[in-house]
Amino acid sequence: MAGKNIIEVTDGSFDQEVLQSDVPVLVDFWAPWCGPCRAIAPVIEELSGDYEARLKVAKCNVDDNPKTPSRYGIRAIPTLIIFKGGNVSEQITGAVAKSQITAAIDKAVG
């Protein structure tokens, strides 16, 4: 499901790939049975190209990796979280328009 600029993160790789990342990371928490997750997939794909090296884009399948979403109290998908320096910087719940996501990214990326 991940495109060429998107990495898949797991419960095992989350700390290293996301929390210890030098650049902000947008994590898309999704699952295969979630229609709205599929709806925003093309938007996430686009975003992974738009910011180049200034933003890392990752997907986390909540079905295969239940620990990470529960760590962040996620009880709805899609949930997008932007992590900056290991902390939650912005959080968006549900399928929203690209403009709303870029506004959140711009705040975090600066």
Partner 1 sequence: MKMNDIYDIAIIGGGPAGLTAGLYAARARLKVILLERMGFGGQLLTYEKVDNYPGFPEGIGAFGLSELISAQALKFGLVTRNAEVTDLLVDEPIKVVRLADAELLAKTVVIASGASPNKLGVRGESEYTGRGVSYCAVCDAPFYRNQEVAVVGGGDTAIEEAIYLTKFASRVHVIHRRDQLRATRIIQERALQNDRISFILSSVVTEIKGSGEQGVDRLTIREAKGTKIDELPVSGVFIFVGIQPNSGFVPTEVDRDVFGFIRTDQEMKTSVPGVFAAGDVRVKELRQIVTAVGDGATAAFNAGRHIESHL
Residue whose CB is less far from partner 1, 22 or 52: 52
Whether 78 and 26 have beta carbons less than 8 Å apart is answered as no
Question: Cβ of residue 41: shortest distance to partner 1, in angstroms?
Answer: 6
The whole-angstrom separation of Cα 30 and Cα 37 is 6
Of the residues 37, 60, 74, 80, only one is catalytic, namely 37
First CA to last CA distance, the chain: 28
Would you tell me which residues interact with partner 1 (CB under 8 A)?
31, 33-43, 46, 63, 73-79, 91, 93-95, 97-99
Of the residues 2, 23, 34, 109, only one is catalytic, namely 34
34 catalytically annotated? yes
Length of the chain measured in residues? 110
